[in-house]
């Protein structure tokens, strides 16, 4: 087996005739953000190359998931070509083809696994069939079923019509209707076909080389770079056949293809690329008079699919109102049913068609007016109580003017606290799941990233966790990431956000021009991220309608000289409320803890401190016993089940750090902060055992 490694891109105009020391096969893999799949594919290719002279060429299209580093570290003999942008499937393959040395080329997707005999069998087939310009094997889905794209016909108007109308699915065994995927042929039968899948396709170099001196057949050329993604394999197979070569499907060996793993993207982008590729193929190769109807159908398909995508996107915005409506309607209906069972009388259908939906609709409208459905990382609770109260008064008022529904007033009164509790519970679970999950990336340099990380780690209640930084420029020299905290470059920012689940993008203003910042924000405005600014030497991050202090020193310096501490009575009320809530919900605690993604065993162990908290000997959130000498008695802190310092991520803290952390809590005491500390502590399993 023969491999080589390169640090620079090849000459794009290098001729195919420049091959020296021909080898059996060059395996070409174009990778884009599928590191784990790529590693798996490379291992399978190496295992399948033992009986052949091979080379493996990986072209990385500016991945942001560590693919390049993985190949360099784990597969040093693989030829690696790194692009500074996503150049598309066709162009990336062409770069590798121009420097490949094999007699044959295997175009392989990174999200595949090849069988141990795949390479040897395909090479043997090509050697035994000199008329073959390309051959493909049997492709399997991840569940082991046959993938229909293993063999295809060209989308002529009649073939495309049968597929678009569903006739090919209704009559798969018909030679007329089943032509697109040739489903009328047995899957284990070798056959000459029109086209193969670009996920695994072996090409004869002579079938591509247009400059060869052969008098028999010319070459078809390389991939058409007008096809960015999708359709390029169909187009190349068409040109290979047109040049006089044959295309074969050979099922004696197999691969697995994890479809779509390397091309996950927004639905609208997928629609545009896929249907656009089909339109390009039709306009390039089919007679305009014959393909007019097919072009119309494809354009209509783009509109329909795009419309469906937008409709699905809009549905996500009404999930909360629909859930609220269902909760209120079912709660009121259940209370009415229980009242009928308990008291008796007539169960009015009018109630379920007027009062129950009216109360639910009134509540939803009131919550919406109060701002309860605004896009936010958390779901606020205050609009719930306002909305359900307004809904109650609306229905109660209506019952005085409509005597027929007057009997429902007692049902509405009984339903109000129960509905409010249920609406609060689902919001609480949502907020708990969102708590501590905000991730940020800094656009700038390593120094500002280090400074921001220190401020975040030393803050008791940080806005986010910092995942790393991307350089503010794409750079010109090399592709190595020179800092361990660097997770990409600026032109990889979209992929970094998608792959790492980033919520906040922080721009280090001193190292970036405003023009670059504004341009980047415009390019990413379709993503659900919040943009923030960090100025040089500043302890503030400025976001939409907010200025947040990250430095403890700056936070404390801005406090007024006279600080009003939360009263001991208010603290006790919160502690008792948490105790009673924990006792009442104890039978259902595994369900709620699972939904909130809290450790069940660790959370239940904390319940043994309920008596101490109820009798005032402890507080749920307070001071660690060993820290009491640092804290003045005037701060009125008790021993806590959960220590205030549990939220700090820096492990080595001096006395000044600890004192500032407790002072921050004392000056910012609130039920929300207490809940925050408790949840973070449980997720880290800190606090008393």
Q: What is the pLDDT of residue 38?
A: 92
| Percent of the residues in the chain that have a pLDDT greater than 90, as a whole number | 19
Average pLDDT value for residue range 395-416:
66
Which band of pLDDT confidence, cut at 50, 70 and 90, is reported for residue 626? confident
Burial of residue 12 (number of CB atoms within 10 Å: 0-12, 13-18, 19+) = exposed
Instruction: Say which CATH topology domain 439-557 has.
Output: Rossmann fold (3.40.50)
Q: What is the pLDDT of residue 298?
A: 60
Q: How far apart are CA 63 and CA 87, in angstroms?
A: 11
Average pLDDT value for residue range 605-610:
89
DSSP conformation letters of 593-632:
HHHTT--HHHHHHGGGGHHHHHTTS-EEEEB-GGGGGGS-
Among 100-104, 147-151, 228-232, 493-497, the range scoring the smallest mean pLDDT is: 228-232
Q: What is the CATH number of domain 21-152+193-264?
A: 3.90.550.10
CA distances from 43 to 113, 137, 313, 405, 576 (A): 9, 19, 39, 72, 59
Give CATH 3.40.50.720 domain extents, the chain: 439-557
List of residues 6+ apart from 425 with CB closer than 8 A:
592
Q: What is the pLDDT of residues 122-138, one digit of tens each?
A: 999 999 999 999 999 99
Average pLDDT value for residue range 432-436:
56
Q: What is the pLDDT of residues 138-156, one digit of tens each?
A: 998 887 788 888 988 877 6
Q: What is the pLDDT of residue 118?
A: 94
Say if residue 623's pLDDT is above 60.
yes
Q: How far apart are CA 407 and CA 412, in angstroms?
A: 10
Share the mean pLDDT of the chain.
77
Q: How far apart are CA 144 and CA 211, in angstroms?
A: 42
Which band of pLDDT confidence, cut at 50, 70 and 90, is reported for residue 202? very high
Q: How far apart are CA 363 and CA 383, in angstroms?
A: 10
Instruction: Tell me the angle at which helices 382-401 and 356-369 cross, rounded to the nearest 10 degrees.
Output: 140
DSSP conformation letters of 480-546:
---STTEEEEGGGHHHHHHHHT--EEEEEGGGS-HHHHHHHHHHTTTSS-EEEEE-TT--EEEETTE
Say if residue 435's pLDDT is above 50.
yes
Which band of pLDDT confidence, cut at 50, 70 and 90, is reported for residue 511? confident
Q: What is the pLDDT of residues 514-546, one digit of tens each?
A: 778 878 887 887 787 888 888 777 767 776 544
Taking a C-beta distance cutoff of 8 angstroms, is the pair 20, 100 a contact? no
Q: What is the pLDDT of residue 11?
A: 38
Q: What is the pLDDT of residue 651?
A: 53
Angle, alpha carbons 356-357-361 (nearest 5°): 125
Q: What is the pLDDT of residues 273-329, one digit of tens each?
A: 666 666 666 666 666 665 566 666 666 655 665 566 556 655 556 777 888 888 888
Q: What is the pLDDT of residues 4-40, one digit of tens each?
A: 333 333 333 344 444 455 689 999 999 998 888 899 8
Give CATH 3.90.550.10 domain extents, the chain: 21-152+193-264
Q: How far apart are CA 150 and CA 140, in angstroms?
A: 8
Structure tokens at 565: 């501490």
């Amino acid at each position: 087996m023969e491999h080589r490694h390169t640090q620079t891109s090849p000459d794009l105009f290098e001729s195919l005739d420049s091959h020296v020391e021909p080898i059996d096969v060059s395996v070409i893999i174009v990778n884009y953000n599928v590191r784990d799949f790529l590693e798996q594919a490379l291992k399978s290719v190496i295992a399948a190359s033992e009986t052949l002279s091979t080379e493996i060429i990986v072209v990385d299209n500016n991945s942001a998931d560590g693919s390049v580093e993985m190949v360099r570290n784990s597969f040093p003999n693989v030829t690696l070509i790194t692009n500074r942008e996503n150049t598309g499937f066709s162009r990336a393959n062409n770069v590798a083809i121009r420097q490949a040395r094999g007699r044959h080329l295997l175009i392989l997707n990174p999200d595949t696994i090849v069988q141990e005999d795949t390479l040897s069998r395909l090479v043997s087939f090509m050697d035994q069939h000199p008329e073959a310009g390309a051959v493909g094997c049997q492709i399997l889905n991840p569940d082991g079923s046959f993938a229909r794209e293993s063999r295809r016909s060209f989308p002529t108007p009649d073939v495309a019509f049968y597929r678009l109308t569903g006739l090919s699915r209704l009559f798969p065994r018909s030679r007329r209707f089943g032509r697109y995927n040739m489903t009328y042929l047995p899957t284990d039968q070798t056959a000459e076909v029109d086209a193969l899948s670009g996920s695994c396709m072996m090409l004869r170099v002579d079938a591509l080389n247009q400059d060869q001196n052969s008098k028999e057949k010319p070459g078809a050329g390389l991939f058409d770079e007008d096809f960015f993604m999708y359709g390029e394999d169909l187009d190349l197979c068409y040109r290979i056949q047109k040049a006089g070569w044959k295309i074969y499907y050979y099922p004696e060996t197999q691969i697995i293809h994890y479809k779509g793993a390397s091309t996950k993207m927004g639905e609208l982008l997928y629609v545009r690329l896929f249907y656009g590729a089909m339109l390009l193929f039709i306009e390039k190769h089919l007679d305009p008079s014959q393909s007019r109807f097919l072009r119309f159908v494809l354009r209509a398909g783009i509109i329909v699919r795009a419309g469906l995508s937008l409709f699905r996107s809009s549905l996500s915005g009404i999930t909360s109102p629909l859930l609220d409506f269902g909760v209120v309607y079912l709660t009121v209906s259940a209370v009415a049913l229980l009242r009928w069972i308990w008291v008796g009388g007539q169960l009015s259908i009018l109630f379920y068609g007027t009062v129950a939906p009216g109360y639910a609709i009134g509540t939803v409208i009131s919550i919406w007016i109060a701002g309860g459905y605004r896009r936010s990382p958390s779901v606020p609770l205050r609009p719930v109580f306002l909305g359900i109260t307004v809904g109650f008064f609306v229905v109660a008022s209506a019952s005085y003017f409509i005597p027929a529904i007057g009997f429902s007033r007692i049902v509405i009164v009984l339903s109000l606290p129960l509905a409010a509790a249920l609406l609060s519970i689902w919001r609480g679970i949502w907020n708990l799941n969102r708590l501590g999950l905000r991730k940020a990336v800094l656009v700038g340099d390593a120094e500002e990233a280090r400074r921001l990380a220190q401020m975040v780690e030393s803050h008791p209640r940080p806005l986010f966790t910092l995942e790393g930084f991307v350089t503010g420029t794409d750079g010109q020299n090399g592709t190595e990431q020179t800092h361990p905290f660097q997770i990409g470059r600026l032109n990889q920012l979209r992929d970094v956000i998608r792959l790492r689940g980033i919520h906040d993008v922080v721009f280090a203003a001193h190292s970036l021009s405003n023009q670059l910042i504004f341009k980047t924000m415009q390019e990413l405005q379709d993503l659900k991220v919040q943009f923030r600014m960090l100025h040089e030497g500043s302890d503030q991050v400025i976001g939409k309608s907010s200025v947040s202090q990250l430095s403890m020193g700056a936070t404390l310096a801005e406090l007024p000289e006279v600080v009003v501490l939360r009263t001991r009575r208010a603290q006790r009320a919160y502690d008792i409320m948490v105790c009673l809530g924990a006792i009442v919900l104890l039978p259902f605690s595994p369900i709620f803890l699972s939904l909130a993604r809290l450790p069940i065993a660790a959370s239940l162990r904390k319940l043994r401190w309920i008596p101490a908290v109820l009798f005032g000997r402890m507080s749920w959130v307070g001071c660690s016993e060993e820290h009491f000498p640092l804290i003045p008695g005037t701060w009125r802190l008790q021993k806590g089940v959960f220590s205030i310092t549990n939220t700090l991520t820096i492990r080595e803290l001096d006395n000044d750090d600890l004192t500032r952390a407790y002072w921050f809590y004392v000056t910012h005491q609130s039920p929300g902060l207490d809940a925050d500390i408790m949840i973070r502590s449980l997720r880290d399993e800190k606090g008393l055992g």
